[in-house]
Structures are given as structure tokens and as C-alpha cells.
Amino acid sequence: MIKNKSIDSEALTKPVLLERNPGVPFDASWFENIKINKSAVERRAATIGARRSVKKEYQAAWLLKAISCIDLTTLAGDDTPGNVVRLCAKARRPVRKDILEALGVQDLSLTTGAVCVYHNLIESAITALEGSNIPVAAVSTGFPAGQITMEQKLKEIEASVAAGAKEIDIVISRALVLNADWKGLYDEIAACRKACGDAHMKTILATGEIPTLTKVAKASMVAMMAGSDFIKTSTGKEAVNATLPVSLVMIRMIRQYYEMTGYKVGYKPAGGISKAKDALNYLILIKEELGNEWLNPELFRFGASSLLSDIERQLEHYLTGRYSASYRHPVS
């Protein structure tokens, strides 16, 4: 049974009320002198998994926290309404009832943070999630490449919001970052934020396609200045997706923006996070760099599809001392 020493069990399901980031006027002086020391970042990131470990009931509690922060995602070319319905059923009940009872947390009403789908499957997801508080997130703006016109991007956002999506994951035009057109990037993201209306906007930087950590840092700051509610690493479709060094840079930009404005912006690593151990490393990084206030679904999400299966498997191992076959813990 979990003793809930490291994470308050109420924090798994209790909503946190935040003042939304409204953005600020463009001012290049906020980021023009940023220079990132890649070697220092990589050294710091390497300490996350090696210097700290979370064991036994503490690990189980942290893994339950990780589940509450998952954007359970399906973004495949062969997605169907049936796939989405099964995914939503898993989002509503992410861990088997017998495991929750054995852990003594059957009353948590544990769910994932959101379900993320393509625009054409929003209606299927909303219907499947009816009666729950799980929001539907939709990818937009020509996901994953973003190679469509600005007019098309805004119409796509507006259509997804009209269809009922509560969160919109946008992709930026990478060329704006590659060419250091920071005002152009600001204008693009600010226009997307306006199109989102009340829907929260997660801005995907596609960091695997940004050549330097310095440009990752500057793009992060510009995205927040333009009103992003979250900044997100990747689409999951790049050759390189979320990494701890990139995450460290983006998280420190979030901290700097908060210190400068008083507004908290969320963080979402996505792509390639499939193991419970990796999830723990990201939670530790958030706790050390931003503090416990960011350890909730309103400010931290994992973009993942297979992570949940491994977490459930690890929870069963905690209870039984044995690893079960992975097929016993399907996502959908």
C-alpha cells in the first residue's frame, strides 16, 4: 500500500486554478543575449537519472502522478473512431481496478490528463469521454510539418475549437527559427493564440529540427511572450524528440519567464517517452528546476502513447515482485 509520503494523493485529482498566460508585447531584449552552454547543459542533464532514485512506495506514488499528467495520444495514419473509443476508455480507467485496490488508492478517481487526437476524431473522443473531466486535445496548424499557409492554420484551429477541443497543440514554422525571424515567430504564435480563444494552446517547437540549444531557448521565450499556455518539445514524428538536455533548456526559460512576468507556463515533453523510468526522470527534473507547483496536469504533461502500459506494468511489479508480460497491460 502506498503511504503517500512523497506525493499527496489528493494532488493527483485536485484541480489547480491558474491565471492564464496572456503574453506580453514583443521585445527582443528579453532573449537576444541568451547563449546556451551545451556542455554544461548535458552535464546537468546527465545527473538526473544517476544522482537520484525513487524506490518502493515512493516510486509507486510518483508513477501514479505521472499517469495523471499523460496526454494519451494516437496520431497514426490508420486511426479509426474505434481506436479512439478504446483509447478514451483507457484514459478514463488507466490502471486495472485490482492494482488500484492493492495499492489502497481505489478512491483517487485517477485519469490521464487528456486525450490527444487528429481533428477528424475530436467528435469520437468527446462522445467517448462524456461525463468525465478529461479534455480532448487536437493537433493543428498542419501537424506535424506545419507546411501550410497561415490562413489554413487559423481555420484549422478555429474548426477544432468549434468541434469541442479544449486544448490545441500547434506546430510552428521551423523556418522562422532557422532564420532567426523572432518577430515573425511571435506574430504567428500570437495569431494562433487568438484563434484558440478559450482553448489552451500548446506550442510545439519541434526541437529535433532546431540546430542549437540557444535557438531552442530563444524560441521557447518567444512562444511564451506570444501567449502560449504550454511549450512542447516535439510532434513525436521527428528523428529526435524529447531529451533531458532540451527539456532543461526549455524549463529554465519557463522559470525565467515566470520570474519576469509572474505567469506560469506549462511544459510538455513528447515523443520517445515510453518507459516508466524515463517518466520519473522528467518528474524529478520538473521538481528540481520548477518546484512542486508544476507537478500537476495544469502545468506538466507527457505526450505519450505507450508510456501508460509500462507504468501499469511497473505498478504490478511493485505489488507482486514479478514482471508481467507487456500484453497484459494494453493501452487500447
Task: State the catalytic residues.
Answer: 169, 232, 268
- Tally of CB atoms within 10 A around 181: 15
Q: Is the dihedral of CA 60, 330, 247, 291 positive or negative?
A: negative
CA distance linking residue 31 with residue 182, whole number of Å = 10
Beta-strand ranges (E) seen in the chain are 70-73, 114-117, 136-139, 167-171, 200-204, 230-232, 266-268, 302-304
> Phi and psi at residue 266, in whole multiples of 5°?
-85, 165
| 208 within 8 A of 238, measured Cβ to Cβ | yes
CA distance linking residue 229 with residue 231, whole number of Å = 7
Beta-strand ranges (E) seen in 63-121 are 70-73, 114-117
- The cell numbers describing 229, all together, are 499556455
Task: Please report how many Cα atoms fall inside a 13 Å half-sphere around the Cα of residue 119, on the Cβ side.
Answer: 18
Residue 165: enclosing H or E segment and its boundaries?
A: none
